[in-house]
Amino acid sequence: MRKLSLIICLTLLVGIAFSLKGAEKDTTGLRFKLKGFVNSQAFYDSRQIVESREQMVSLYPKKPEYDVNGKDINAGGSFNQLSMTTRFRLLIEGPKVLNAKPSAVVESDFTGSSNATNNDLRLREAYISLGWTKWTLLMGQTWHPINTPECRPTTVGLNTGAPFHPFSRHNQVRLDYHIGHWKLTAVAASQRDYASDGPTGVSSNYLRNAILPNLHLQAQVKTVGFLGGIGFDYKLLEPEQFHQFGAIRAKSTSSVNSMAVVVYGKYTQGHFTLKGAATLGQNLTEHILLGGYVEHQIDSVQYRLKYAPTNVLACWIQGEAAYGKFQFSIFTGYSSNLGYQNEMAGRFFGRANDIAYLYRIMPRVQFQSGHFTIGTELEYTAAAYGKPDLKGQFDSSSIVGSYRLLAGVFYFF
Domain ranges of the chain: 2-412
Predicted confidence (pLDDT) per residue in 383-402, tens digit:
999 999 999 999 999 999 99
List Cβ neighbours of 393 (8 Å cut-off, separation of 6 or more): 339
**Mean pLDDT, rounded, for 4-8:** 43
- Say what the pLDDT of residue 8 is: 39
- Say what the pLDDT of residue 400 is: 98
**Mean pLDDT, rounded, for 299-316:** 91
List Cβ neighbours of 399 (8 Å cut-off, separation of 6 or more): 382, 383, 384
Calpha distance 158→166 (Å, rounded): 13
CA dihedral 119, 124, 128, 133 (to 10 degrees): -140
Confidence of residue 404 (pLDDT cuts 50, 70, 90): very high
- pLDDT beyond 80 at 20: no
**Mean pLDDT, rounded, for 9-26:** 46
Confidence of residue 114 (pLDDT cuts 50, 70, 90): confident
Burial status of residue 230 (CB atoms within 10 A of its CB: 0-12, 13-18, 19 or more): middle
- Say what the pLDDT of residue 23 is: 42
Of the candidates 177, 106, 91, 94, which has an alpha carbon nearest to the alpha carbon of residue 141? Answer: 106
- Say what the pLDDT of residue 2 is: 47
Calpha distance 131→117 (Å, rounded): 36
Q: Which helix (H) or strand (E) element contains residue 138?
A: strand 135-143
DSSP state string for 14-56: HHHHHHHTT-S--TT--EEEEEEEEEEEEEEESS-EEEETTTT
Lowest pLDDT segment from 2-16, 287-301, 371-385 = 2-16
**Mean pLDDT, rounded, for 22-48:** 85
- pLDDT beyond 60 at 207: yes
- Say what the pLDDT of residue 248 is: 86
Phi, psi of 395 (to 5 degrees): -80, -30
- pLDDT beyond 80 at 265: yes
Percentage above 90 pLDDT, the chain: 85
Phi, psi of 83 (to 5 degrees): -130, 15
- Say what the pLDDT of residue 16 is: 44
Calpha distance 299→301 (Å, rounded): 5
Confidence of residue 18 (pLDDT cuts 50, 70, 90): very low
- pLDDT beyond 90 at 249: no
**CATH for the 2-412 domain, from 3.30.750.24, 3.40.50.10860, 3.20.20.70, 2.40.160.10:** 2.40.160.10
Percentage above 70 pLDDT, the chain: 93
- pLDDT beyond 60 at 10: no
**Mean pLDDT, rounded, for 326-352:** 96
Whole-structure pTM value? 0.91
Helix, strand and coil percent figures for the chain, each rounded to 5: 10, 60, 35
**Mean pLDDT, rounded, for 308-319:** 97
Predicted confidence (pLDDT) per residue in 143-195, tens digit:
999 999 999 999 999 999 999 999 999 999 999 999 999 999 999 999 999 99
- pLDDT beyond 70 at 306: yes
Cβ atoms 370, 320 nearer than 8 A: no
The better pLDDT of the pair 27, 87 is held by 87
List Cβ neighbours of 360 (8 Å cut-off, separation of 6 or more): 164, 331, 332, 333, 334, 379, 380, 381, 382
